Each structure stands twice: as structure tokens, then as C-alpha cells.
Amino acid sequence: LTLIGLFGHPIHHSRSPLMQNAAFRAKGLPYTYVAFDVFPEQLKTAAESIRILGMRGVNVTIPHKVDIMACLDELSPAAKLIGAVNTVVNEKGTLIGHNTDGSGYVRSLLEETRLSLPDANVLVLGAGGAARAVAAAMALQGAKRIQIVNRTPEKGRELAERLGTFCPAEAVSYQDLPELVSEADLLVNTTSVGMHPNEQEIPLPPDLLHEKLVVSDLIYNPRQTRLLWEAAKRGAKTHGGLGMFIYQGAEAFTLWTGEDAPVELMRKTIESSL
Ligand code: ATR
């Protein structure tokens, strides 16, 4: 039996154990996935235990995605660009950090919306950890242009600079949203605005939304945020955050096991738990 962990704090809300264990069982693989509540001051010791206990790897979640990097031997190009790790693989004692949040997001986006990234003007709301992951993945996959608008402009500028090596990227201002949204092909909300179930908050004035847009919200609980609802009402194509969660897990599954993940089963497992 091989152990795979999840390091986070707090951890009780996570649906990853349910999803990953269902996937291992369905494929007949001898892995067990266990969540560990790791306090920040214990992260280094917890990372050492991956080697000591012979674990195949771990997922890493809030608040450890950045700090775990200092405990690892190697980082994938995506993890380096994003500046965060959500998946660790133990290759015979060498700990390798990956980031499947961004690539999982893009896979879900392309499958669900059929958008063509090389033709897409992308407008990202927010510049935190989640924005870094999805914007970096879109830049690596050759988006036509990425614009970032953030409440704290300095963070938006930093992110745009990071992306600039891979595709045209710039920080833009909230005041220019009407024009920016009218020219965008894809609008992505990475802020936490709209996150709480029953919350009616929306990260931009809904009348800016239009039918030529694909509107994507990383929030998956509620499944339909007010942003997505207002977008659908105006004829826009919408994309919720559930697919990102499923595919970040599916790509981690493949990194650990070398096998394709049973994506449909993972999706059904999560849907029936929501
Ligand atoms: P995550 O890892 O989920 O991205 P984060 O790194 O804390 O979390 O980033 C949260 C993002 O949501 C940030 O872009 C934040 O804007 P600031 O950089 O100005 O803090 C944005 N955000 C959170 N609450 C917001 C609000 N009420 N209005 C606008 N933006 C908000």
C-alpha cells in the first residue's frame, strides 16, 4: 500500500480525499490518500516525512503552496513561473514540485467552452495565487493577450511582468473596465467576490457583460455564482470552477500513478457530494 498525503491548514473541508480515493479504487491501484492538518511551523518536518515514510507524494493546499517550495529538490517550469506548488512527487527520494492548478484550469476551460486561446483576448480579475496559476498556464499555452485588473494595482503589475516573457501581458485599471470588457473574449474571475453561498456580490457591474464573452469563475461552491448567472442571462458562454478542481486532481493522479485518471468518475463523486 502506498500513501499519498494532503498538507493544508485547515483541512477538514477538503473534498480531495473523497475524489482521489474513489479514483484509486476505480483503477484498482494500491494507493490511499489521507489529509494531514499541518501547522505552518511544521511544514518542513512534514515535507521530510514524505521521504522518511516512503510516501509517493502529496497535494499541498492553503496556506502552504508557496512555502513548500523551499522544502523541495526540483520544481517544474510551471511551478517556477506560478511561484507555487500544489503537487509533490517523490521520485526515489527526490522531491519534485509541480503545479496542476493552472494546467487543470486550462484543460477544463478548453473542454467546456471550445475557446481558442491563441485567438483570445483574456481579461483576468484579481492577481492573487489563483490568478497567478491560471494566467501563467494561459500564457504558457500561447494566449493572444492577457490583461490583469486588480484592486491593488501593484500586484497586477507584478503578475503582468511575470507573464510578459510568454505572451503579451499588461496590467489595466478598473476605470477602463467598460472598454476592456467590450474588447475581451474571455473574462476570468479569480477574486473571492461571490464565493459565499447565497452571496449576491459580483466583481464587476453586470451590465458590462455581453454575448460574445466566455465568462469563467474559479469559484465552484456555489456552482453558479451571480457573475455566471448574469453572464448566462446576457447570452454569454459560462464556465464554472468545478472542472478546475477535478482536472488539477486528475493531473496530480497521473503524476503519481503514471495512469490516466478516471475523470468522469471523479466528477460524479464530487457532484454528488456538493
Ligand atoms: P487566492 O489564492 O484565492 O487567489 P489571494 O492570493 O488572497 O487568494 O487573492 C485574492 C484576490 O482577490 C486578490 O486579487 C484580491 O485583491 P487584492 O490583491 O487587492 O487584495 C482579490 N479580492 C479579494 N477581495 C476583493 C474585493 N472585495 N474586491 C476586489 N478584489 C478582491
pLDDT 10s digits, 72-95? 999 999 999 999 999 999 999 999
CATH topology of domain 2-98+243-271: Rossmann fold (3.40.50)
Q: Where are the domains of the chain?
A: 2-98+243-271, 103-240
Give the distance (Å) from ligand 1 centre to CA of residue 73. 30
Predicted local confidence at residue 227, as pLDDT: 96
Q: Using CA atoms, how far apart are residues 56 and 61, in angstroms rounded to an integer? A: 17
What is the average pLDDT value for the chain, to the nearest integer?
Answer: 95
The 8 Å CB, 24+ separation contacts for 261-264 are 261/23, 262/23, 262/26, 262/27
Interface ipTM > 0.95: yes
101 assigned to a ligand binding site: yes
Ligand 1 binding pocket mutation candidate from 64, 150, 202 (most atoms within 8 A of CB):
150
Ligand 1, atom 6, lies closest to the CA of 128
Give the distance (Å) from ligand 1 centre to CA of residue 128. 6
pLDDT 10s digits, 138-151? 999 999 999 999 99
159 assigned to a ligand binding site: no
CB 147, CB 123: distance < 8 Å = yes
CB 125, CB 176: distance < 8 Å = no
Predicted local confidence at residue 194, as pLDDT: 83
Give the distance (Å) from ligand 1 centre to CA of residue 127. 7
Q: Choose, from 27, 44, 65, 268, the residue flagged as catalytic.
A: 65
Catalytic site residue 212? no
Q: Using CA atoms, how far apart are residues 76 and 8, in angstroms rounded to an integer? A: 21
Superfamily classification of domain 103-240: NAD(P)-binding Rossmann-like Domain (3.40.50.720)
pLDDT 10s digits, 205-239? 999 999 999 999 998 888 889 999 999 999 999 99
- What is the CB < 6 Å shell around ligand 1? 126-131, 150-152, 155, 190-193
Angle between helices 100-113 and 129-140 (to 10 degrees): 60
Mean pLDDT of 6-10: 97
Give the distance (Å) from ligand 1 centre to CA of residue 92. 38
Ligand 1 binding pocket mutation candidate from 191, 193, 202, 221 (most atoms within 8 A of CB):
191
Asked if domains 2-98+243-271 and 103-240 share a fold, the reply is: yes
CB 225, CB 161: distance < 8 Å = no
Ligand 1 atom closest to residue 62's alpha carbon, by position in its atom list: 2
